Structure 1
Amino acid sequence: MTQKLASALYEGVVSHHRLRPKRHKLRYRVFSFLLDLDEIDALSSRLRLFSRNRFNLFSFHDADHGSIKAKGQKSGKSADLRPRVEAVLNAHDLGDCAHKIELLCYPRLLGFVFNPLSVYFCHRSDGSVGAVLYEVSNTFGDRHSYLIPAGPDGVDKKGVLRQSCAKGFYVSPFIDMEADYHFRIAMPGDTVAVAIRETDSKGAFLTAAFTGDRNALSDRNLLSAFIRYPLMTLKVVAGIHWEALLLWRKGMKFHKRPAPPPQSVTYVLANANEAAQAGKRSSQ
């Protein structure tokens, strides 16, 4: 009997809604993989259309994610991803959250991928989510992560996790660095949803979200996704630049790109960061 895998394919929609200073909306149909980091080799053996660290119609390359080198590993870019994520968790006393690590991301499609946001769900041995690692990449080749513990309350009864952090990494030339992220995640199940509300001293100015429905990772479903979303990962990058052109034509202001943070991961204290943000708002 074939063992049921935790990994899955989620098909859905990415949407962005910019509220100010210029209104702008976008909506694209996409799909994402949810990968249990302990199952990737099994998926590569089981599926003809998916491979790890080698070319295929769909593939996952460890080098596409993370920037931390774990002890005993020669290369932080090519080494197995799981020990690198474990190293991040251990460095912040969250080693108990490495029992199971799931990654929501785009796969490589015909060898190409760009992930604006990859989300790691880090589980304790009892199955609860103890931390989330948000890995952000920009089109300038930079990458930065925000590590946020789930806090004492964790996921609510509806399966929703809410977290916040101050922005510390340059992403869009049309967004100032003085901003905060507010995450709302409906944990992966039959569906998944990752929503981000971006705010500044005047309130919310941008919302972005991915919502998707779960499908099994099978060769049949992979081929179907390829037919319905051909060259999707290339279209992600093309779409980013196209939307940037539209924003520029609307007269959006450019913000100078600062140097990326010296550290690869920003650790955000659960709950304490909410209080700090509230104090920051009240003093303005």
Structure 2
Amino acid sequence: DRLDEAAASSALFSVNAPGLFAFRTQDHGPKQAGAPLRPWAEAELAKAGVSLDGGAIRLVTFPRHLFYKFAPLSLWYGYGPDGDLRGIIYEVNNTFGESHSYVAAVKAGRNRHSAPKSFHVSPFFDVTGTYRFTLRSPEDKLGVVVESLKDGNCLHMANITARKRPATRANLLKLAVTNPLSTLGVTVGIHWQALKIWLRGAGYRSKPNPPETTSTIALPLQIRNAGKRRDAA
């Protein structure tokens, strides 16, 4: 909703143009050059019964850095006109250039959702079982846990935490200096974890065709202790 404001915030950050850090609309949502993002997000949220009534949509993702872009998980937060958090889109991307969204209605505070796994992410895990998402209202600190479950056991867990910082020139320069390969590092980290899993004897699965639908509805769960965890990254 505030892309123009973001583009004007710093000469080091651009929208749909080259830059040290850049946001391109074609990297997200419908993945089409020139396609508006808000109608796509509203349509996805509506599948979970969520109506924003004109409220804000905020996207948390990795920008392009030195022209490279990969975000394994992008989070779309949908708000009502009074600022209450109403819905979430977990946009999952794999290293094959494909994406799938898990969509859920949410409420203020901590939320947990479950959805059948319907999208290929790793060659070492079948497209079976369920995902369990644990989400905290973002405010100043982001907290998301994604668990891959099968037969009651957690096979893999990803924990994402971050703190909000203004996109000032000083902060962007600091990020570029202290973490010069931020988005590329995500891809390298994913392949490093895959190598460790393979060295432990995991079998390789060929990539199946992508699902016919672009999204899956995630249903709410009660907050309780997580199941047994076998692998974490």
**Fold shared per TM-score above 0.5:** yes
Partner deviation per Cα, 1:50-107 (whole Å, 9 max, x = no partner): 1101110011000001127xxxxxxx44322122212333455433365111111111
Counterpart position of 1:54: 17
User: After TM superposition, where is structure 1 displaced by more than 6 Å over at least 4 residues in a row?
Assistant: none
1:1-284 aligned within 5 A: 38-67=1-30, 76-90=32-46, 93-96=49-52, 99-150=55-106, 154-155=107-108, 159-270=109-220
Structure 1: unaligned runs, 5 residues or longer:
1-37, 69-75, 275-284
Supply the distance in 2 between the matched residues of 1:257 and 1:216 (Cα, whole angstroms).
39
Alignment length (residue pairs): 223
Partner deviation per Cα, 1:2-45 (whole Å, 9 max, x = no partner): xxxxxxxxxxxxxxxxxxxxxxxxxxxxxxxxxxxx11111112
The 8 Å contact of residues 162 and 182 in structure 1, kept in 2 or not, is answered as yes
Structure 2: unaligned runs, 5 residues or longer:
224-233
Partner deviation per Cα, 1:184-212 (whole Å, 9 max, x = no partner): 11221232111112211142222211111
Partner deviation per Cα, 1:195-230 (whole Å, 9 max, x = no partner): 112211142222211111222221110111111100
The 8 Å contact of residues 114 and 219 in structure 2, kept in 1 or not, is answered as no
Supply the distance in 1 between the matched residues of 2:30 and 2:13 (Cα, whole angstroms).
24
* Stretch of structure 1 that moved more, 254-263 or 105-114: 254-263
Partner deviation per Cα, 1:122-143 (whole Å, 9 max, x = no partner): 1111222111111011111211
The 8 Å contact of residues 89 and 98 in structure 1, kept in 2 or not, is answered as no
1:60 corresponds to which letter in structure 2?
F
Q: Calculate the aligned-residue CA RMSD, in Å.
A: 2.1
Q: What's the TM-score, normalizing by structure 2?
A: 0.88
1:131 corresponds to which letter in structure 2?
G
Supply the distance in 2 between the matched residues of 1:269 and 1:201 (Cα, whole angstroms).
18
**Larger of the two Rg values belongs to structure:** 1
Over the matched positions of the two proteins, sequence identity in percent amounts to 35
For the residue of structure 1 that corresponds to 2:70, the secondary structure is coil
